Amino acid sequence: MEKQQQTVCVTGATGYVAGHLIQQLLQAGHRVHGTVRSLSKSPKLAALYELADQYPDQLELFQAELLTQGSFRAAMRGCSVLFHTASPFTMRVAHPQRDLLDPAIKGTQNVLSAANAIDSIQRVVLTSSVAAMYCDAVDCQYAPIDESSWNTQASLEHQPYTFSKVQAEKAAWELAEQQSRWDLVVINPSLVMGPAISDQTTSESFDILKQFGDGQLKTGAPKYGIGLVDVRDVAQAHILAAFNPQARGRYLCNAKDTELFAIADALREQYSSYPLPKMRPPKWLVWLIGPALDPLFTRKVISRNIGYEFRSNHQKIQQELGMTFRDPNPGIREMFQQMIDKGVFDQ
């Protein structure tokens, strides 16, 4: 793939990462076909319409639904690159099979099958997750995770979100191997933080940050190993993967190996009036009260994550794509301020 101006397709255009990806693509002069679930007037589309006004004749929106076969073909026509970012990112679901696994797997199969019908598609860049590389922080203890790592511990009962990510990525690789016209490159981000292009954007990332500002974690944030990366870097990684002819395989996209408590540290000086956690409760206390406070904190999750470090190796994306990462902390503060301006926290 060459980097001159091209026409590309971005699925899930109202998404958190997709918003920055579309903005950066337009800034670079590319034409973008973005897919949305509905073209009816909605506050979630306002930021995209603003981009369309800012970059005339470069952004066109198409209606498409993950589980509707053939609905993505119109958006892909004439496109050389397909960025598939549309996938559920939520931890709290009533029915993991219906709400996580089916949309992630069947949606990926539907979108990539549509790509098979569009002769112009040469490369597919898939947004996966480090969740497809590991299940729990304990999995990182013997060696840092990298592009060779796969999550083998998740299930519908344990970490169903991470299970959906690994199954969706495997489905993508299976479809890629069944044809030879387009190649697949996968971006695997860690926990994505930073401001959205619209205050209407929703993501589990915002739900996590909300807990730091609304007092849910005021008694303390446990030592829970995570990786952090700025949303603008994740968008840039997708673009580097799309237009570098040498890009191949998977790319772990993580700026910083850290822990949940580090988010509070990033906010503390500027937002000390908010009920940020000031301590890391001991594992025995989290074990005792965690499941009662949050159903996601099962005893198995606690035993396999609390007290363990997240460890990763992101040399591949730096060496092969020339990726450089910014410090995630300023982006966390921008994101928090965006939530304040929106009135998320009552003070």
Neighbour-count burial for 139-171, b at 16+ CB within 10 Å, e otherwise: bbeeebbbbebebebbeeeebbbbbbbbbbbbb
Q: Which among 31, 240, 20, 236 has a CA at the least distance from the CA of 120?
A: 31
Q: Would residue 223 show up in a list of annotated catalytic residues for this protein? A: no
- Which among 44, 165, 223, 256 is annotated as catalytic? 165
Q: Using an 8 Å Cβ cutoff, are 4 and 31 in contact?
A: no
The packing angle between helices 102-116 and 160-177, to 10°, is 20
- CA dist 193 → 29, 105, 334 (Å): 26, 25, 9
Residue 92 burial by Cβ neighbours in a 10 Å radius (0-12, 13-18, 19+)? exposed
Catalytic residues: 165
